[in-house]
Amino acid sequence: MHIAIMSRNKNLYSTNRLKEAAEARGHEVKVIDPLKCYMNINMTSPSIHMKGEDLPKFDAVIPRIGASVTFYGTAVLRQFEMMGVHPLNESVAITRSRDKLRSLQLLSRKNIGLPVTGFANKPADIPDLLDMVGGAPCVIKLLEGTQGIGVVLAETRKAAESVIEAFMGLKANIMVQEYIAEAGGADIRCFVIGDKVIAAMRRQALPGEFRSNLHRGGSATIVKLTPEERSTALRAAKTMGLNVAGVDILRSKHGPLVMEVNSSPGLEGIEKATGIDVADKIIQFIEKNLKKGSAKTKGNG
């Protein structure tokens, strides 16, 4: 197969591992920076160009689209889909998962466990908003934030009101969530491929920190999932329409609660914590499921 990996940096661990795994299985791989692509959109022969030339024909594309380039990156991926290239994750599913508010609404509709979440846009609504999530402490999140950036733990009601007012004053979109104290600053990353959770790790925040992201110094260890946690992760990925996803779960007294469904989950932490060759499993999944022009959306949505 000829496989394209959409990534802004060919030296990233995840990009490198996917390239190595694909080449080890006999495939030809090209890493493509989506921001260096431009598109010819027409009725008969849509194409993607880079540096004045058409890109070669690919059988499959692996999107590794960073949150900051979601709009343009998914536009390029839609163009691949319109050209009949098989996407590992479809553009519409990536766009859906990147909208934190929409993704939570979709998960809620499927009765998947979530932290109680409030959303408003007027300072006058703040008191009721805080009451809805159980008051302080609570977690305040920027909708556009990633890797723990733009996430604040407000330990008192006054602090929560001040932070929310500040964000609203900057015209930033935020949501407020209940704080799951029993999680103890830890969450579980479930790595889903197809209809299986192929690996899982527990991420623990540093002392005095509640964000468990590895980019923020958190540590990762292998963890055994309960049947309910496994089922929750699979249902969450399916709800988003993602073939490959990192589903982040909190262990609460009410059972597993989904925090986020990541459409471009990193491989470094999960591979090192579990010893599982996740990159190889992704390439095997593409081999088994490749059907040219099989994107359900055909570039729409």
Binding positions for Mn(2+) are 248, 260, 262
Per the annotation, binding residues for ATP are: 141, 178-179, 187, 211-213
How far is 23 from 247, CA to CA, in rounded Å?
A: 27
Which tokens is 117 given?
Answer: 């979440």
Helix and strand numbers, DSSP H then E, in the chain:
9, 16
Look at residue 51 and give its three-state secondary structure.
Answer: coil
Residue 78 in tokens: 């839609």
What ranges in the chain are assigned the alpha helix state H? Answer: 13-24, 70-82, 91-98, 100-109, 126-132, 157-169, 227-240, 268-274, 278-289
Residue ranges for the binding site for Mg(2+)? 248, 260, 262
The region that residue 197 occupies, defined by phi over 0 for left and psi between -120 and 50 for alpha, beta otherwise, is: beta
Give 133-198 as a DSSP string.
TTSSSEEEEETT--TTTTEEEE-SHHHHHHHHHHHHHTT--EEEEE--GGGTTEEEEEEEETTEEE
Alpha helices in 241-294 (DSSP H): 268-274, 278-289
CB 223, CB 256: distance < 8 Å: no
Q: Which phi and psi (to 5°) does residue 286 adopt? A: -60, -45
Report the binding-site residues: 141, 178-179, 187, 211-213, 248, 260, 262
Q: Beta-carbon neighbour count of residue 221 at 10 Å?
A: 11
